[in-house]
Structures are given as structure tokens and as C-alpha cells.
């Protein structure tokens, strides 16, 4: 581990701690440190909501950039990511089906949360298998980006049809979910999200070493003993779990999976793959906590802020690659 990497990691950790403390103190009501341990019902409830908000942003900052990082390294395309490849859109479509068609079923809250995450993950897994099937047919992997945009458009059209025929309450629930309301996630939902993210991270860590060989070419990777079929399934499952689980509880958080790995490479270009894996998570946490602060200060939906930030960055990335 180089000295520069240690310094950068320390700076990011300091930035994360500062952003966490600021995020805990953002809101209509000022709280003291003692309020987080107070027996006062009102202050305790507000403090708990803020802690939940900070925790869910931390998990989102870990999972979405890691998902984008895995997809970019596997497809060898800096524009690959859960939102651009359509994974987020299909996960959103699956959640829409669940919200619109589950109103007549009376289920306990923990089962509702489980089915919500399961529907998003199932939809994203199906799309990832389709993408990998098509990746063998396209010589130019940039066609996968176009395919992802087409899938996103199709998913958006189907969601619009569902919204047109939906009942008022179902439509309201879906719209509130699609705004990315990070302060609406309960503690029980955070536990489910944390378990899924942890499992996805374990799988992503297992894929780091095979990805190093894969980056040198499939023939060379096989000569090193890399099982390309196993690697494919690791990427499918881990990236889908990481992106879809956040989408299930926070709504579609767009473009972060592309932008954070891009910034990570800029701030420390000679990093090894496992170092990039760590930097993605640290930088992702910092950025998502920062966006949460902006969202709470301005009352703008979270996914609007990520889009306003991500679209210009991706456009600059495309223009830069065009010049090269």
C-alpha cells in the first residue's frame, strides 16, 4: 500500500466523518448531541429518522458505485453502469408492478419490505442475463450501451401505462418512491438493505482477482486459470444485488454508478484494482452524504440532484473519449 493511497484514504475518511455529522444536523429542527439518546419522544423520533437517513446514504454510497465499477471493469467500458445499462430502470419496473398489484394483499411490514427488494433484484438479474447473452453477439461492446438505453425507454413506457391505469393511492406510493425519499426508509428496511449489500460486497470482492486477468484478455485470463463463466455469474449477481437493493428502497438513483468510478480513477489513476474498489466505496459514501445534505437543505428529490450532477459529467466523459 503506497503512501499516496494511505493519505488519500485518510482524507476521504475525514471527509466522510464531517459529512455524516453535518447530515445528522440538517433539518427543520435543531438537535443537540444528547437528543440522540434522549427519552423525549419527539426529539428521539426525529433523531432516529436522521440516523436512518445517514445510514441508508452510507449503504447507497457503497453499493451503487461498486456495482458500476464491476460493470465497467467487466465490459471494459467507462460508460457502463446500472442506470445506463437499464438495470435501474428494470428494477424500477419490477417495483412498479409490485406496488401497483399488491395493494389488495395484506402482508406484515417485514414481508412487504422483503418482496419489494426481491422484485427489484429479480428484475435486474433477468436483465443482466439478457445483457450478457447479447454481449457475445455484439463485437462492439458500445452497442450494449444503446441496448441499455432502449431497455430503459421500454421500461419507462410500461411504467407510464401502469401509472395511467393505477389507483390514486398506488400512483401516489410509486411517485413518492421514485423521488428517492431517503428519509422514508425505516430501520427494519435498513437491516434488510444492509444484509443484501454485505452479501453483494462479498461477491464483488471475490471477483476482483478474476477481473484483473479478464482485463488482459479472455485467452490470457484462461491461461491464468480464471473461470470466465464463474466470473460472469459473479458480476451478474453482485452488481444486480448492489444496485437493485438500493433501487428497491430509495428509488432510482441515477448516474452515480458511472460518475463515482470515473472520479475515482481521476484522483488516483495508478491504483490497483482492489485499491479502486476501496476508493469507489469511500468516494461514493462521501458524495451520497453530500447529496443527502443538499436534498434536505433544498427539499429537492434525491434522484433529481444526482441527475443534475451526473448528466454533465457523463457528457464530458463522452466528449473526452471522442477527442481521443
Neighbours of 273 (CB within 10 A): 14
Q: For residue 142, is pLDDT > 70?
A: no
SS3 state at 258: helix
Overall average pLDDT of the 301-316 stretch: 87
Per residue in 60-107, pLDDT (tens digit) is 999 999 999 999 988 888 888 888 788 888 988 988 888 888 766 666
CB neighbour class for 298 (10 Å; exposed up to 12, middle 13-18, buried from 19): exposed
Per-residue confidence at 40, pLDDT binned at 50, 70, 90? low
Per residue in 115-137, pLDDT (tens digit) is 777 888 888 888 888 877 776 67
3-323, what's its fold? ABC transporter involved in vitamin B12 uptake, BtuC (1.10.3470)
Overall average pLDDT of the 173-191 stretch: 77
Within 8 A by CB and 6+ apart from 116, the residues are 95, 98, 248, 249
b/e map 58-67, b = 16+ CB within 10 Å? bbbbbbbbbb
Per residue in 310-324, pLDDT (tens digit) is 888 888 877 776 554
pLDDT at 324: 47
Please state the pTM of the whole predicted model.
Answer: 0.87
Amino acid at each position: 500500500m503506497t503512501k499516496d493511497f494511505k493519505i488519500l484514504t485518510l482524507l476521504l475518511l475525514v471527509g466522510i466523518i464531517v459529512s455524516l455529522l453535518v447530515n445528522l444536523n440538517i433539518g427543520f429542527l435543531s438537535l443537540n448531541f444528547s437528543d440522540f439518546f434522549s427519552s423525549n419522544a419527539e426529539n428521539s423520533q426525529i433523531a432516529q429518522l436522521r440516523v436512518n437517513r445517514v445510514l441508508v446514504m452510507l449503504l447507497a454510497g457503497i453499493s451503487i458505485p461498486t456495482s458500476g465499477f464491476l460493470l465497467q471493469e467487466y465490459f471494459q467500458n467507462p460508460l457502463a453502469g446500472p442506470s445506463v445499462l437499464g438495470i435501474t430502470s428494470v428494477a424500477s419496473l419490477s417495483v412498479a408492478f409490485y406496488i401497483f398489484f399488491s395493494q389488495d394483499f395484506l402482508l406484515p411490514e417485514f414481508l412487504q419490505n422483503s418482496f419489494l427488494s426481491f422484485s427489484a433484484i429479480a428484475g435486474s438479474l433477468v436483465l443482466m442475463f439478457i445483457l450478457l447473452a447479447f454481449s457475445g453477439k455484439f463485437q462492439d461492446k458500445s452497442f450494449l450501451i444503446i441496448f441499455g438505453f432502449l431497455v430503459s425507454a421500454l421500461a419507462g413506457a410500461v411504467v407510464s401505462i401502469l401509472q395511467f391505469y393505477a389507483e390514486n393511492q398506488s400512483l401516489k406510493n410509486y411517485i413518492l418512491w421514485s423521488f428517492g425519499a431517503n428519509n422514508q426508509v425505516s430501520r427494519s428496511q435498513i437491516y434488510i438493505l444492509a444484509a443484501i449489500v454485505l452479501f453483494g460486497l462479498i461477491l464483488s470482492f471475490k471477483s476482483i482477482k478474476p477481473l484483473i486477468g479478464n482485463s488482459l484478455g479472455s485467452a490470457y485470463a484462461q491461461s491464468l486459470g480464471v473461470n470466465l463463466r464463474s466470473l460472469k455469474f459473479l458480476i451478474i449477481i453482485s452488481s444486480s444485488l448492489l444496485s437493485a437493493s438500493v433501487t428497491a428502497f430509495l428509488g432510482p438513483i441515477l448516474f452515480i454508478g458511472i460518475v463515482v468510478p470515473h472520479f475515482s480513477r481521476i484522483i488516483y489513476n495508478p491504483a490497483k484494482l482492489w485499491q479502486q474498489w476501496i476508493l469507489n466505496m469511500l468516494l461514493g459514501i462521501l458524495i451520497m452524504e453530500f447529496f443527502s445534505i443538499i436534498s434536505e437543505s433544498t427539499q429537492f428529490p434525491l434522484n433529481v440532484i444526482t441527475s443534475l450532477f451526473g448528466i454533465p459529467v457523463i457528457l464530458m466523459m463522452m466528449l473526452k473519449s471522442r477527442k481521443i
